[in-house]
Amino acid sequence: MDHFLYRDGLLYAEDVALADIAAAVGTPFYCYSTATLLRHFRLFDEALSGMDHLVCYAMKAASNQAILKTLAAEGAGMDVVSGGEYARARAAGVPSDRIVFSGVGKTRDEMRTVLAGGIRQFNVESEPEMIALSAEAVTLGTVAPITIRVNPDVDAKTHAKIATGKSENKFGIPISRAQEVYALAASLPGLEVIGIDVHIGSQLTDLAPFELAYQKVAELTHDLRAQGHKIRRLDLGGGLGIPYTQSNVPPPLPADYGAMVKRVLGDLDCEIEIEPGRLIVGNAGVLVSEVIYVKSGEDRAFLIVDAAMNDLIRPAMYEAYHDIVPLAEPAPGMEGTAYDIVGPVCESGDTFAKQRQMPPLKSGDLVAFRSSGAYGAVMASEYNTRPLIPEVMVNGDQFCVIRARPTFDEIIKRDIIPSWM
């Protein structure tokens, strides 16, 4: 469920007409619903009720300060994957003991910054990283709490570019080697082994791969405890998918996921962490764009909009599907027209949809790309010197621009001309 609904013939974000925002800030722009963000976070939090747990929002999905502060005020932790994301989380007021640091390539500079600023845990991905973290912690005279990410060799049955739990993926250590790696960690100074980390992929629409991975984690927990390791925390990652089209069979609900976690892991007396991103913010955001032209091709009509692949890269990168709907509600039974929906960038890859059935549209009409809150604005670029587009947050009948569109002058002035020119 989200809070982008038609009312009196217009598409609203909560109690604000998206057309009114377009008139105020121009197109294209991203718009987020506070009510949807809060609803989705609370569903996860409630799903794990009765267990010691922390929901750590995977802020790589959408990292604007306003989103982070909204979730942090509800008690969310943050899953960060870079020094920059750590800085964002701290700037948003997230306590360091609610931040976990993931990622395969943590640098020593990042380690030092995070050790000095405080951290809930490092999710360590390799022996070289572990050795480097040990050295940095000893130098600073502190102890780094760590989990070790294990790769359970489970097929997440998702897009190849977002699968992370198979043996050929770059993430974690093979679960077959876990016991020797935990023994190494226990022998190194400056480290405190507190748990196990696992994450098998993104946009999963079936609980079976999760359950298989978590069963392996449960077995490993017993084995490691038998060897003297004090495993008290299990970081289960994220990955639960969302419906990107109204006709999709809905993925499992957070409540279904929580029930499975309790059934498989509930007897281990471990604190549970989960790291949802897409399911919290994906359906909480839309991208609003204006039709520039309707162009007739040899055998098709092209709907050319002012949003482009630099604004929303997912269709070009992942062949991702987004429902695209007009802001003016079409009349019931209106006959549709098939369009290739494309942006202005001079690449054939700048295509959002092919032969998509839409109500007849014309220049100046507004459309919304639904379910674009996750991996939208955060993956945007200024390719073709197209400014990063505004982000807007709605709360009830209020809206605020939470990231402004830069001017061309601001973009160009970032360039530095060498002194010899």
Half-sphere exposure of 314 (CA within 13 A, CB side): 23
Token pair belonging to 166:
């198979």
Query: Do 113 and 239 have their domain in common?
Result: yes
Mean pLDDT along residues 167-186: 83
What whole-number percentage of the chain has pLDDT above 70?
Answer: 94
Whole-number average pLDDT of the chain: 93
Question: If we measure between CA atoms, which residue out of 267, 273, 193 comes closest to residue 228?
Answer: 193
For the chain, report the end-to-end CA distance as a whole number of angstroms: 56
pLDDT above 50 (res 126): yes
Query: Do 182 and 149 have their domain in common?
Result: yes
Q: pTM for the complete prediction?
A: 0.93
Catalytic residue selected from 31, 56, 270, 346: 346
Query: Do 158 and 236 have their domain in common?
Result: yes
Query: Do 348 and 291 have their domain in common?
Result: yes
* Helix or strand (DSSP H, E) at 364: none
Q: pLDDT category, 15, cuts 50, 70, 90?
A: very high
Query: Do 182 and 311 have their domain in common?
Result: no
pLDDT above 80 (res 31): yes
Rounded Cα distance, 224 and 87, in Å: 34
277: CB partners within 8 A, 6+ apart: 57, 58, 59, 60, 61, 62, 79, 202, 238, 374
Query: Do 257 and 368 have their domain in common?
Result: no
**76 in any annotated domain:** no
Rounded Cα distance, 115 and 138, in Å: 11
CATH number of the domain encompassing residue 263? 3.20.20.10
DSSP-H helix ranges across 173-239: 178-187, 207-226
Instruction: Please tell me whether the peptide bond between 344 and the residue prior to it is cis, using omega within 30 degrees of 0.
Output: no
Query: Do 269 and 293 have their domain in common?
Result: no
Q: Are 173 and 216 in contact (CB under 8 A)?
A: no
**343 in any annotated domain:** yes
pLDDT above 60 (res 109): yes
CA–chain centroid gap for 49, Å, is: 23
Mean pLDDT along residues 114-137: 97
CATH number of the domain encompassing residue 354? 2.40.37.10
Instruction: Check if 346 is active-site.
Output: yes
Query: Do 256 and 121 have their domain in common?
Result: yes
106: CB partners within 8 A, 6+ apart: 122, 129, 133
Mean pLDDT along residues 128-144: 98
pLDDT digits 0-9 by tens, 190-231 = 999 999 999 887 677 788 888 998 999 999 999 999 999 999
pLDDT above 70 (res 165): no
* Number of domains present in the structure of the chain: 2
Q: pLDDT category, 161, cuts 50, 70, 90?
A: very low
Domain that holds residue 11: 4-31+282-412
Rounded Cα distance, 54 and 188, in Å: 28
**90 in any annotated domain:** no
Question: If we measure between CA atoms, which residue out of 40, 2, 22 comes closest to residue 326?
Answer: 22
Which pLDDT value is given to residue 200?
80
Among residues 231, 246, 274, the one where a domain terminates is: 274
pLDDT digits 0-9 by tens, 257-273 = 999 999 999 999 999 99
Q: pLDDT category, 157, cuts 50, 70, 90?
A: low
Q: pLDDT category, 159, cuts 50, 70, 90?
A: very low
